[in-house]
Amino acid sequence: MPEPEAAGLAALCFKLSDFRGYGAASIEADRRPVVLTGPNGAGKTNVLEALSLLAPGRGLRRARLSDLDRQGGGAWAIAARLQRGRDEPVEVGTGRDPEGGEKRVVRIDGKPARGQAQLASVGAIQWLTPQMDGLFLGSAGDRRRFLDRLVTGADPEHAGRLAAYEHSQRERLRLLRDGRADPTWLDALEDTMARHGVAVAAARRERVHALDGATSGTGHFPQAELRLTGSVESWLGEMPALGVEDRLKVRLAANRRLDGETGTTAEGPHRSDLEVTHVGRGQAARLCSTGEQKALLISIQLANARLVKGHSGAAPMLLLDEVAAHLDEGRRVALFEEILALGAQAWLTGTDVQLFRPLRGLAQFLRVADARLSND
């Protein structure tokens, strides 16, 4: 296998405090991939979850912030020194505010961040977990979140626009439900929803277009055809973005009574969906076998990582939970080769250290037992 290029986002130092089963833990890493092995329940996935919280959002398990606290401990905290490519290292800290219930605090280079969306500016993080195996069979919301993570890796501002859209959407629904629907305030909220919502939809369309046909990097993973469906996305194919904003504002105003009665927003990018087809089989991903669905997910993740590296010069950090165990040897070796060629710092977990034999000498190996880490 080739030596790793070391050109991606990497965690050089990583510390946990009162996080899940960890009272305190510290990992010193280099730019290479990191392999975490140990029995089920040892705490491997918890390390990946903590790393995923260095990106905007609720992490790879989408847990409530208070559920991440160690039993009997205080509010959890994470600190890391991150380096993207040849950029200067950045000190990042995040955790649950002990005074704020479900409030999350973020600091970047010692300064409070405006919000967690600012984490996207540090670098891109992607993940793949066993729970995502049912992505193509699950809800449209799960697929939108999956796509939004990929978009944010290429466009760090996407997370902020998405947060602004969702905040305005919640405020509008609150006013409609409470019967305090001041037209002037609703106009302002709908204007914000339209501006940010159309920008969100346009960024998703651009990413899907880039990914479509870019997933055939190796012969071991299938080519995927991707398509984004939704009214706002359709309008963007017919008219300029400003025209789409105007149309969405008109629709939102017309739906006020309906939205107030149902407690939902009938139209907008939060209704979009991602459709994926296995090109080789000419079959929708939801109809493919579990193994082929997994291979499609990996193919899309790798394609996005290549695109992010091509755009920014630095590959995303990859968090791959129990991926190797579900791949045959050919695909497993192909995945490792792709990771090394990308220069990505991938964090891989598994119970069987022998599955990662091809990475010996090319990755850092850590043993996890009872929420304790040691060199393997």
pLDDT at residue number 354: 96
Decide: 58 and 142 in contact? Cβ < 8 Å.
no
pLDDT > 70: what percent of the chain? 98
pLDDT at residue number 86: 87
Mean pLDDT (whole number) for 30-52? 96
The predicted model scores a pTM of 0.94
What value does the mean pLDDT of the chain take? 93
Mean pLDDT (whole number) for 67-77? 94
Q: Would the pLDDT of 335 be above 90? A: yes
**DSSP classification of residue 223:** -
pLDDT at residue number 2: 57
Instruction: For the beta carbon of residue 341, count every other beta carbon within 10 angstroms.
Output: 18
Mean pLDDT (whole number) for 242-269? 96
**DSSP classification of residue 54:** T
User: How many whole angstroms from its chain centre is CA 71?
Assistant: 27
Q: Would the pLDDT of 217 be above 60? A: no
pLDDT at residue number 31: 92
CA distance 33 to 44: 15
Which helix H or strand E contains 108, and what residues bound it? strand 104-108
pLDDT at residue number 213: 76
Reading the block at residue 87, the tokens are 């950029």
CA distance 280 to 59: 33
Strand bridging mode 125-128 / 317-320: parallel
Q: Would the pLDDT of 261 be above 80? A: yes
CA distance 173 to 169: 6
Rounded (5°) CA angle 152-124-360: 145
Decide: 267 and 190 in contact? Cβ < 8 Å.
no
Q: Mind listing the pLDDT tens digit for each residue in 107-130?
A: 999 999 988 999 999 999 999 999
Decide: 294 and 103 in contact? Cβ < 8 Å.
no
Mean pLDDT (whole number) for 271-300? 95
Q: Would the pLDDT of 336 be above 60? A: yes
Mean pLDDT (whole number) for 50-64? 95
Reading the block at residue 19, the tokens are 């996080």
Q: Mind listing the pLDDT tens digit for each residue in 84-109?
A: 988 899 999 999 998 878 899 999 99
Strand bridging mode 346-350 / 317-320: parallel
Domains and CATH numbers, the chain: 1-123+316-376 (3.40.50.300)
